[in-house]
Amino acid sequence: MDISVVIPVMNEEGSLKILYSRLKEVLAGLGKSYEIIFVDDGSTDGSFKILESIAKQTEEVRVISFRTNFGQTAALSAGFKYAGGDIIITLDADLQNDPEDIPKLLRKMDEGYDVVSGWRRERHDPLLTRRIPSFFANKIISRITGVRLHDYGCTLKAYRREVVENIDLYGEMHRFIPALAKWVGASIGEVVVKHAPRKYGKSKYGLSRIIAVILDLVTVRFLMSYSTKPIQIFGLLGLISGGIGFVIGVCLVVQRQFFGVALSSRPMLLLAVLLMFVGTQFVSMGLLGEMQVRTYHESQNKPIYVVKKIVGER
């Protein structure tokens, strides 16, 4: 199988037949073997019946139906698991992503990239609730992860199979897949894609997702930098906290011994003790994290590296 197209679906009955028709035309023109995997994320309208009908008419279509709504991250993760293509392409089911941009992504991958992300340079979304928050979110994510992309939120992306096989997704981390892919050594590219106004259904996203994005960004940053060496971050925080507390304590002792300053009413004494105690706690957390990491990798025989290619293996 050359190409797998993974499409999360949540209450998109109005757009599915049109999407399939356009998608089939584009994929047939590529001259490659392909499959289309629709992941029904607990739709409550007629989406699953439409998908089931399409799947019965063609062998290229597969439908995965969730018992309830688990979110886009879970839908993409399931799609990755069941996809058989060497290249996996993801896009939304609401017709805002244009299937005709798929050849553009594939041409970019032919240049040697492992992941190609779409950039909706001209977006047709509400300014205050979607475009402005997205602009600042993309800037922050690019700065923190070190992977410079203009549009992390664009679902239209292409991945090499071996890249997504080494990425485990949880929470709302689907938008951070390029950053996680960079963590396992993938090369990341970006192309400008079209974006159409929504004609069917309702958007599933709003300002409420900002908190989830921020928390997941902290997790991604930690995974990229310290997932196999937690002692380095917790130990550093512990040494800083304990060191400041120790310096304050020494200053207070000097004041008491040489200048006769009473310490009983000094809040700095309590601060010094607190900082040293917190420092000890941080170091302890780092050591516990180290033991957890070793247990995780050794019990599952999970390597701490990813092999891209072996030449001359016998």
Q: Residue 312's pLDDT is what?
A: 61
Gap between the Cα atoms of 84 and 200, Å rounded: 30
Phi, psi of 52, deg, nearest 5: -60, -40
Three-state DSSP class for 312?
A: coil
Helix H or strand E encompassing 105: helix 102-109
* Token output for 94: 């609401």
- If you count them, how many residues does the chain have? 314
Q: Residue 66's pLDDT is what?
A: 92
The C-alpha angle 237, 306, 105, rounded to 5 degrees, equals 105
Question: Domain 3-226 sits in which CATH superfamily?
Answer: Spore Coat Polysaccharide Biosynthesis Protein SpsA; Chain A (3.90.550.10)
Instruction: Kindly give, in sequence order, each residue whose CB lies less than 8 Å from that of residue 62, ignoring residues fewer than 6 positions away.
Output: 35, 36, 37, 38, 55, 82
pTM of the model: 0.78
* Token output for 124: 């047709």
Residues of the chain where predicted confidence (pLDDT) is lower than 50: none
Kindly report, residue by residue over 244-269, the tens digit of the pLDDT: 999 999 998 888 888 888 877 788 88
Ranges of each domain in the chain:
3-226, 230-299
The HSE-up count of residue 204 (CA atoms within 13 Å, CB side) is 15
Q: Residue 114's pLDDT is what?
A: 95
Q: Residue 241's pLDDT is what?
A: 95
Gap between the Cα atoms of 72 and 305, Å rounded: 27
Q: Residue 27's pLDDT is what?
A: 95
Q: Residue 83's pLDDT is what?
A: 93
Gap between the Cα atoms of 262 and 142, Å rounded: 51
Instruction: Kindly give, in sequence order, each residue whose CB lies less than 8 Å from that of residue 301, ignoring residues fewer than 6 positions away.
Output: none
Gap between the Cα atoms of 51 and 53, Å rounded: 5
Beta bridge partners of 190: 117
Kindly report, residue by residue over 50-63, the tens digit of the pLDDT: 999 999 998 999 99
Long-range contacts of 210-219 (CB under 8 A, 24+ apart): 210/133, 210/137, 212/171, 212/172, 213/137, 213/172, 213/175, 215/171, 216/171, 216/172, 216/173, 216/176, 217/140, 217/141, 217/144, 217/145, 217/176, 219/171, 219/173
Q: Residue 309's pLDDT is what?
A: 59
